[in-house]
Structure formats: structure tokens, C-alpha cells
Amino acid sequence: MTPLWLDRIMTMPCDVYLRESAGEDEYGNVVYVEDTVVTRCWLQPATQQEIQDGRAEFGEYLVHLPADIIGVIDGFARIVVDGVSYEVSGPPAVYPSLHATGVHHVEVAVSRSTA
């Protein structure tokens, strides 16, 4: 159960797109279908850098999600926050609650590139 203090700051609408393999195309490439889960989150910037005179940028962020997303999100997801798409960089970190039974919250590292 997500604690109230953290629940209050997770106010950003967040669409989690889960990818599943749907077979292969005519060239042998894996084709994916996306299933959408609507939730809310808090997006925290981690690092950002510009490349070649500001024409491209790469940013890494940490997305905090409520406890009920456990078992839903994986390392192959895409997350859209306020219309901006971020790629999940790896498996989610699940934090257990110290004072109650269950999950405290879930965090995923995401990245975004304009290149």
C-alpha cells in the first residue's frame, strides 16, 4: 500500500504501454503489440545532456509509481507522461513497506532522446 505522503505527490497522469510479442513480420523481425495501463506517477529528473550545439538531448529520469502497478510493468514498457514518451531502461525496483505488509511503491528508470 502506497503511503499517503507519497500518494499525494503522484499526481501526473501516466500511461504505461506494455509490449508483447505478436509474432514476426515478413522479414523475420519481431512485431509487438502494446496494451495500455492508465495510472499516475511522479517523474523525477536524474541526468540530462545536450549533444552537438543543442540539437539533440538525452535525459534519464526516475518514475515513481503506486504499489498497485506491481506485476503489471516490466523492463520492456514505454511510459507516456504529459504527452512525452519515455523508454523504460530495465526492470522495475519494488520497495517493500517497512511498517506494513506489502509493497511501498515501484520505481523505474526511464530515458528520453530527441535525437
Q: Which amino acid is located at 102 in the chain?
A: G
Structural domain boundaries, residue 105? 4-113
Closest-CA residue to 65 (of 18, 20, 15, 26): 15
- Its pTM stands at 0.81
Q: What is the pLDDT of residues 44-94, one digit of tens each?
A: 998 888 777 766 688 899 999 988 888 889 999 999 999 999 999 999 988
Question: Coil, helix or strand for 4?
Answer: helix
Q: CA angle, corner 5, sides to 110 and 62, nearest 5? A: 10
Count the domains in the chain: 1
Closest-CA residue to 10 (of 111, 113, 105): 105
Which residues have CB under 8 Å from 113's CB, separation 6+? 56, 57, 58, 59
Q: What is the pLDDT of residues 2-55, one digit of tens each?
A: 777 877 888 999 999 999 889 999 999 999 999 999 999 999 998 888 777 766
Here the CATH number for the domain that contains residue 11 is: 2.40.10.370
